[in-house]
């Protein structure tokens, strides 16, 4: 399982990359492997929208399940990855770089400090798979 050390993670399998006051959000390698082949991605927020911490921002459908992606942080959406609606398979092939979903300008930078680091997330995933 691939969990880059420069990211933060949630118990609902989202990742966050913090760059200054911008948070880039996507789903983890573990999440995409559980979903299997993602066939549909719908980002339900637009640039300028305010998102709440734990608010749903994206819906995913795979050949075996549907899932919702929540924002681990609160803030204003500054960018959405519109490529994913045309190429949902990027979620499976490249969950950490090409398949980011939204970028949010943090309204509360301390939101990120409550998230897990890569080692804690790895342990969390191992505990769930037993």
Into how many domains does the chain fold? 1
pLDDT band at 109 (very low <50, low <70, confident <90, very high): confident
CB 86 within 8 A of CB 55: no
In a domain, 1, yes or no: no
In terms of residue numbers, what domain contains 83?
A: 8-128
Average pLDDT value for the chain: 95
Which pLDDT does position 32 carry in this prediction? 95
| CATH number of the domain to which 59 belongs | 2.40.50.100
In a domain, 2, yes or no: no
CB 61 within 8 A of CB 108: no
In a domain, 3, yes or no: no
CB 39 within 8 A of CB 72: no
Residue 30 has pLDDT above 80, yes or no: yes
Phi then psi for residue 26, to 5 deg, are -155, -170
pTM: 0.95
Which pLDDT does position 1 carry in this prediction? 74
In a domain, 106, yes or no: yes
Which pLDDT does position 119 carry in this prediction? 96
Report pLDDT digits (tens) over 46-91. 999 999 999 999 999 999 899 999 999 999 999 999 999 999 999 9
Q: What is the mean pLDDT of residues 15-35?
A: 96
Which pLDDT does position 2 carry in this prediction? 86
In a domain, 124, yes or no: yes
CB 99 within 8 A of CB 90: yes
Which pLDDT does position 58 carry in this prediction? 97
Closest listed residue to residue 40, CA positions, set 92, 85, 80: 85
Spatial distance between the Cα atoms of 124 and 92, rounded to a whole number of angstroms:
21
Q: What is the mean pLDDT of residues 2-17?
A: 96
């Amino acid at each position: 399982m691939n969990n880059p050390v420069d990211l933060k993670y949630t118990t609902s399998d989202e990742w966050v990359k913090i760059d200054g006051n911008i948070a880039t959000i996507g789903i983890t390698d573990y999440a995409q492997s559980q979903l299997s082949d993602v066939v549909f991605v719908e980002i339900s927020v637009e640039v300028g929208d305010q998102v709440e911490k734990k608010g749903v921002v994206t819906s995913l459908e795979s050949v075996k399940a549907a899932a919702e992606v929540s924002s681990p942080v609160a803030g204003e959406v500054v960018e959405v990855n519109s490529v994913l609606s045309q190429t949902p398979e990027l979620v499976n092939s490249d969950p950490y770089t090409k398949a980011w979903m939204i970028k949010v300008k943090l309204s509360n930078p301390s939101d990120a400090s409550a998230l897990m680091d890569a080692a804690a997330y790895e342990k969390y995933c191992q505990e769930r798979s037993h």
